[in-house]
Amino acid sequence: MRILFLGDLVGRTGREAAAAALPVLRERLAIDLAVVNAENASHGFGLAPDMAAALFAAGADVLTLGNHAWDRREILPYISESPRLIRPLNFPPGTPGFGSIVVDVSGGRRALVLNAMGRLFMDALDCPFRGTAQELAKHRLGGTVAAIVVDFHAEATSEKMAFAHSFDGQVSFVVGTHTHCPSADHTVLPGGTAFMSDAGMCGDYDSVIGMAKEGATTRFWRKMPGERLAPAEGEATVCGVFVETDDATGLARRIEPIRMGGRLSQAMPVT
């Protein structure tokens, strides 16, 4: 199975760049499953229903969220009616939406997509390790599902690495989101799980993690509340990851970064 993951979309620039790139990447890389983290798509904070619908129309199979999941209140009724939009599974019981979904892909195959959120330097949620283990107990990689993808939305690289090693051999791919800076540690772990600490963002990198430099840097100088943050609106770099799995086992054969447009060095998997 060929899997595409795009990192956090930041604001209009990142949202529009990702929507334009999705059909191109799907065709160029013969993608079977496309997953996009969209928690910063609306002005850098949250996701609006019309934006989610546009991303699905552009070719996203599943959208994931994170700590900004509820910044746009109108997403609450939408997520309850849209199972392909998932939020971290370790939010407390009773939270709207779901933390995972099984989707159909080409060739009669099925894939499980999970979203979990870390706890180091983040909101206090239920344990993402135990929550993920409980969900994985319902499925069998290479059996009931041909692939399992986990978006682990977390601040600390150590927590992301510990999470990936914990589930090495049980899932196809663990990708980190949230820090907005693409890491250079993409690898296939010893047990066959592909891993990358952070997929990066789809947004303007002439910025402070996607936000306009002026307001963001002033916050560090003054350490006072009230400095307004707004997404940078220059040319976006579309950042993501490509993973190819073995259909018999569901484990990863290879993982390669994707960087298109904007200011960063370009990277594209060889097909």
DSSP-assigned beta bridge partners for residue 80? none
Q: How far is 120 from 156, CA to CA, in rounded Å?
A: 6
Between CA 26 and CA 240 the distance in angstroms is 13
State the catalytic residue, choosing from 68, 139, 153, 186: 68
Instruction: Quote the CA–CA distance of 90 and 114 in Å, as a whole number.
Output: 11
Could you give the CA distance from residue 141 to residue 252 in angstroms, rounded to a whole number?
11
**Helix or strand (DSSP H, E) at 150:** strand 147-153
Question: Catalytic: 186?
Answer: no
Helix (H, G, I), strand (E, B) or coil at 185: coil
Q: Report which of 115, 119, 132 is spatially closest to residue 167, judged by C-alpha positions.
A: 132
What is the number of helices (H) and of strands (E) in the chain?
A: 6, 13
Collapsing DSSP to helix, strand or coil, 62 comes out as strand
- Please count the CA atoms within 13 angstroms of the CA of 192 that sit on its side-chain side: 18
What residues are labeled active site?
Answer: 68
